[in-house]
């Protein structure tokens, strides 16, 4: 069943269609929520709340864009809502400072397993993790991130660069250890 | 700028499609919430119709009585009848209010349910002053219901219970050595992870002392186990690993909830990525 048909049936109130939609997208969306949240429990809460929003706003979805992309945005926003209260992003760092650090390329990134990377993302401090997720994986601009999180654009940039440096350092350490 | 962000490319490539195991309880929670929305909407509508019909009937009745009263019947009785009838209307209309307050909750909590017919209810309420007072009183009820509406938290308790009860089932399935379709409902190639255990009891009693993953034909296998503080306590790239509950630093892993990620490739080099909670009981 394609997305358009599925949406139509969901809107007509078919519980079976709603279940199909949930089953189709929930595993991937839980993956998204986990990346943003501290714990899997928190991620599950976000997933649950996010899907309720998806179903309630389904009638507003324009069939032009990507349905998965639309759901993903809702999930990211819901996860951010749950995080926003407790998340502290320090703005003490200047983006330029991190930019100038030299980076080496002498390790093979592509051999790393997604499980390791996922675990690594999970271990990052809140600010790093959220900004890194939004910028690197979901492809938000720093301007969008700044608006969404109520921080400045340069904070978003510096958080991202720090996060990247953090990940790189971890990756290099792991790599040399093997 | 182009070549530099290989880290972003790497993580995007590997993680944007990462799937996690969704427990069926989550759908139940979502489903019951949406169902609540729809049901509330319908029943308010129904009540409105009932109310209108009742009101019409009462009006007709009153008119009939008045007519017959003019033709010489006892007026006192009519007045009694009239007041009885209008008394009956009040409870019917006020029934709408609990519904109204129920559908009002999501608006307060996450302003999603703008489609609830809350707007149309006051129109019916207004003609009767008495009912307005009741409507105010039902605001107090709202708060009570709001508190009751945070029920999904309770779902978590159920979850823990189900996790525990699932364990014996897993063991039975293992001993029969049959295909476990339930835990991996997606279409899979021959290479597969047969099930994702979620309980593990490394207490030396000989039963479920080692955490293993039953899999077949996987390449590039990797498992990482995190504790509640998101620290890596174990990792392995061997599909037939068996974790005995000893952390990488040599300490015994304490009882608690852990989270694990598994990634691998099947024989078509398609990525398999799964994760699940793991409850460690000692």
pLDDT over 60 (residue A134): yes
Rounded distance between C-alpha atoms, residue B221 and residue B213, angstroms: 11
Question: pLDDT confidence of A110, banded at 50, 70, 90?
Answer: low
The per-residue DSSP string of B139-152 comes to: HHHHHHHHHHTTTH
Residue B31 CA: distances (Å) to CA of A29, B24, B35, B106: 17, 11, 6, 15
Residue A112 near residue B15 (C-beta atoms within 8 A) = no
Return the CATH fold of A3-86: Rna Polymerase Sigma Factor; Chain: A (1.10.1740)
Three-state DSSP class for residue A66: coil
φ, ψ dihedrals at A84, nearest 5°: -50, -40
Banded pLDDT at A19 (limits 50, 70, 90): very high
Q: Determine the pLDDT at residue B269.
A: 78
pLDDT band at A103 (very low <50, low <70, confident <90, very high): very low
Q: How confident is the model at residue A10 (pLDDT cuts 50, 70, 90)?
A: very high
Distance from C-alpha of B51 to C-alpha of B189, rounded to nearest angstrom:
59
Tens-level pLDDT at each residue, chain B (282 residues): 445 678 888 888 888 888 888 888 889 889 888 875 644 445 555 556 666 766 777 766 666 666 665 554 444 555 545 444 444 444 444 444 444 444 444 444 444 444 444 444 444 444 444 444 444 444 444 444 444 444 444 333 333 333 444 444 444 444 444 444 444 444 445 677 778 888 888 888 888 888 998 888 888 888 989 887 778 899 888 888 999 999 888 888 998 888 888 888 888 877 787 888 888 888
> Does the structure show a pLDDT above 90 at A72?
yes
A-chain residues within 8 Å CB-CB of B110? 49, 53
- With CB atoms and an 8 Å threshold, state whether A121 touches B11: yes
pLDDT (0 to 100) of residue B152: 42
How far, CA to CA in Å, does A113 sit from each of A17, B218, B221?
34, 13, 8
C-alpha to C-alpha distance for A117 and A122, rounded to whole angstroms = 8
- List CB contacts (< 8 A) between B31 and chain A: 15, 18-19, 22
pLDDT at B2: 45
The verdict on a CB contact (< 8 Å) between A164 and B8 is yes
Give the per-residue pLDDT at B167. Answer: 42
- What are the domain boundaries of chain A? 3-86, 95-176
Tokens of B195: 């099930």
Q: Which of B12, B20, B222 sits opposite A136 (nearest CB)?
A: B12
CB-closest option in A23, A118, A139 to B18: A118
CB neighbourhood size of A149 (10 A): 21
A134 in contact with chain B, both atoms CB, cutoff 8 A:
no
Q: CA of A139 to nearest chain B CA: how many angstroms apart?
A: 9
* Helices B75-94, B96-110: inter-axial angle, 10-degree rounding: 30
Which of A56, A115, A139 shows the shortest C-beta gap to B223? A115
What is the second-level CATH architecture of the domain A95-176? Orthogonal Bundle (1.10)
Say whether residue A26 is in contact with chain B using an 8 A CB cutoff: yes
Residues 137-176 of A with CB under 8 A from B: 137-139, 164, 167-168, 171
């Amino acid at each position: 069943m394609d997305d358009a048909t599925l949406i139509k049936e969901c809107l007509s109130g078919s519980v079976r269609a709603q279940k199909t939609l949930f089953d189709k997208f929930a595993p991937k969306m839980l993956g998204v929520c986990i990346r943003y949240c501290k714990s899997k429990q928190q991620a599950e809460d976000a997933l649950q709340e996010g899907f309720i929003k998806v179903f309630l706003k389904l009638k507003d979805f324009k069939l032009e864009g990507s349905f998965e992309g639309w759901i993903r945005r809702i999930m990211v926003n819901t996860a951010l809502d749950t995080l926003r209260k407790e998340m502290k992003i320090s703005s003490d760092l200047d983006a330029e400072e991190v930019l100038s650090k030299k980076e080496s390329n002498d390790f093979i990134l592509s051999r790393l397993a997604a499980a390791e990377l996922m675990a690594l993302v999970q271990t990052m401090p809140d600010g790093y993790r959220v900004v890194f997720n939004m910028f690197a994986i979901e492809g938000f601009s720093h301007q969008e991130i700044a608006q969404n999180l109520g921080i400045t654009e340069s904070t978003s940039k510096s958080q991202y660069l720090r996060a990247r440096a953090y990940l790189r350092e971890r990756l290099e350490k792991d790599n040399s250890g093997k | 700028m182009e070549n530099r962000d290989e880290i972003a490319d790497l993580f995007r490539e590997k993680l944007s499609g990462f799937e996690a195991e969704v427990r069926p309880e989550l759908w139940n929670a979502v489903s019951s919430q949406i169902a609540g929305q729809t049901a509330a909407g319908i029943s308010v509508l129904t009540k409105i119709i009932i109310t209108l019909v009742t009101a019409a009937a009462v009006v007709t009745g009153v008119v009939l009585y008045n007519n017959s009263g003019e033709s010489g019947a006892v007026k006192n009785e009519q007045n009694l009848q009239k007041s009885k009838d209008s008394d009956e209307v009040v409870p019917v209309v006020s029934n709408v209010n609990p519904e109204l307050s129920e559908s009002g909750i999501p608006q307060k909590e996450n302003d999603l349910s703008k489609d609830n017919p809350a707007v149309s209810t006051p129109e019916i309420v207004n003609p009767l002053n008495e009912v307005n007072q009741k409507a105010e009183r039902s605001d107090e009820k709202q708060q009570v219901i709001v508190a009751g509406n945070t029920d999904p938290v309770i779902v978590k308790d159920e979850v823990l219970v189900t996790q525990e009860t699932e364990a014996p089932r897993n063991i039975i399935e293992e001993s029969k050595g049959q295909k476990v379709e339930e835990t991996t409902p997606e279409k899979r190639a021959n290479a597969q992870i047969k099930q994702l255990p979620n309980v593990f009891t490394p207490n030396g009693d000989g039963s479920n002392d080692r955490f293993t993953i039953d899999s077949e034909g996987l390449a590039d296998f990797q498992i990482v186990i995190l504790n509640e503080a998101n620290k890596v306590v174990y990792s392995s790239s061997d599909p037939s690993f068996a974790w005995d509950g000893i952390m990488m630093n040599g300490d015994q892993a304490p009882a608690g909830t852990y989270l694990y990620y598994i990634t691998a490739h099947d024989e078509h080099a398609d990525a398999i990525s799964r994760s699940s909670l793991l409850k460690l009981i000692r």
